[in-house]
Structure 1
Amino acid sequence: MSAPTSTSQDRSTVDGIEARILDAARTQFELFGVKKTTIGDVAKQADVDRGTIYRRIGSRDDLVRAVSAREVGRLLAELEGIPSRHTDIDAIVADIFVTVITRWRNHGLINRVLALEPGRLLPQVTTEGGAFFTAAVATTTAILAEAMRQRGLPAIPDLTPRVEIASRVVHSLILQPVGTLNLESEAQLTGFARSYIVPLILG
C-alpha cells in the first residue's frame, strides 16, 4: 500500500483541527451558552490560537452554524443505519420518526441553547434552516427508497413530498411539543408513527 500523499495528509490535519474546534465550541456552548462563550474560550478549549478559528470557521455565529450543521449530519448518518435493523418497511419508517424526535429532545446542546438563548437557535431551525431541512428530506427519501428497493417493494412516485409532509410534522413536534397528543415515551411515539406517519408515507 502506498503512503498517503501530502495533500491527503494536509486534509487530514485540517479536518482534525476543525473537528477539535467544533468539539470545543460545542462543549463551551453546552456549558455556558453562546452569549457567554468567546472565540478565546473556544481557542483555549481547542488548544489553538484565535486566528486559527477565524481562518478555519469564522466568527462565533459561524461556529454556531458549523456546530449545528455537524450535529444534523451526525443524525442523518445515524438514520442511514436504521434499515439494517428491521425487515419490514413500516418499522423502518417508525424508527426514523422516533429517532429524530428523541435525539433532538435529548440533545444537551440544543436544550441548553433553547433554554438560555432561544432567539439565537430558533432562526437556524426555522427561517434560516432551509438547507438543513431540505437535506433531511432528501436523505430520508433516499434511505426509504433504497430500503423498499432492497425488499422488492414497488417504488412510490411521490415519495419525496410524502417524506416532506412527515418531516414538517416532526419539525412541529420538536419545536412545539405541548398539545393534546401524549407523546412523551418512545412507545407512544412509535404508536403515533405507526398510526399516522407510516400511512402518510407508504399509503
Structure 2
Amino acid sequence: MTASRTPLSRHDAADLEARILDAALIQFAKVGVKKTTIEDVARQAGVDRVTVYRRVGSRDDLVQAVISREVATLLAVLGAMPERHDSIDDLVADIFVTVVTRWRTHPMVERILTVEPERVIMKLTVDGATTFTMCLAATATILEGAVARGLLADADDLRTRAEIVCRVVHSLILAPHGTAQLGSDDELAAFARRYLVPVVTNARG
C-alpha cells in the first residue's frame, strides 16, 4: 500500500487514527510493545508504515496514544457515575472497583505486565505526567459532580483530595502486592469505603 496524498477531512482523519490505534492495541495485547513493529501495526490497520508515522508517530508515540485513549475512555465512564449514586460512599467504592478491575483485566496491560513490566512503570512514572494529569482532572470533576448532587460538601481543597485519591490508586497499580486484601470486588469496595471515603469527605476520625 502507498500513503494517500489526498487531504483527509477531519472526520476521515479521526477514523484513520482510530483504526491505527485499534491495530496497535491488538498488537500490543498479542505480543507486547517490544515485539511490535510499525509494520505490524500498519498491516493490522490496512495502511502503510508511512501513514502510521505521519498520523501518530513512532512506536513510543503509539504506546502513549493508546494509553491516553484507553484512559480517556475509562474516565468518560467514571464521569457518569455521580448520577447513579445517592451516597458518596457508594460513588467512591464504585469508582475504585471499576478502575482497579478495568486495569487488571485490560488485555494490553496484562500482556505488558507479563513480558515487559518495566515499560508500564516508565509510562506511569517518568513518562506518566500526561496520564496522571488526565486522571486528576477527571477525578476533580467527578467530585464537583458529587457536590452538585448534594453527595459531598463543597470545599476549596477538592482538587487536593482528588490528587490524594489518585496517588493512592496510582501506587496500588504500580505495587499491587501488599498487606491489604484486594483480590475481589467486595474487598476493593471495603477498602475504598474505609480508607478513601474519609479522604474525599475530609472526615477526621
TM-score, length of structure 1 as denominator length:
0.92
Alignment gaps of 5+ in structure 1: 1-6
Q: Which residue of 2 aligns with 1:185?
A: 184
Moved segments of 4+, more than 3 Å: none
What are the superposed Cα offsets for residues 45-101 of structure 1, whole Å, 9 maximum, x if unpaired? 100111110100011111111111111111111101111221122211121111111
Q: Secondary structure at the match of 2:9?
A: helix
Q: Which residue of 2 aligns with 1:169?
A: 168
Distance in 2, matches of 1:177 and 1:35, equals 23
Partners in 2 of 1:135 and 1:177 — Cα distance? 22
CA distance in 2, matches of 1:120, 1:62: 13
**Whole-Å Cα distance in 1 between the matches of residues 88 and 137 of structure 2?**
18
How many residue pairs match? The answer is: 196
Distance 2:82 2:90 in 1: 9
Contact 2:143 2:162 in 1 (8 A): no
Structure 2 unpaired stretches of 5+: 1-6
* Map of 1:81 onto structure 2: 80
- Mapped pair 1:57 → 2:33: no
Give secondary structure in 2 for the equivalent of 1:37.
Answer: coil
Aligned AA (2:183): E
Question: 1:41 deviation in Å?
Answer: 0.9
**1:141 is aligned to 2:143:** no
Spell out the pairing of 1:93-104 with structure 2 (5 A cutoff). 93-104=92-103
Corresponding residue of 1:3 = none
Identity %: 53
Counterparts of 1:172 and 1:178, CA distance in 2? 10
Whole-angstrom CA distance in 2 between matches of 1:150 and 1:169: 25
The residue identity in structure 2 corresponding to 1:198 is V
RMSD of the alignment, in Å? 1.5
Structure 1 position 154, deviation (Å): 2.9
3-state DSSP of counterpart to 2:30: helix
Counterpart of 1:121 in structure 2 is 120
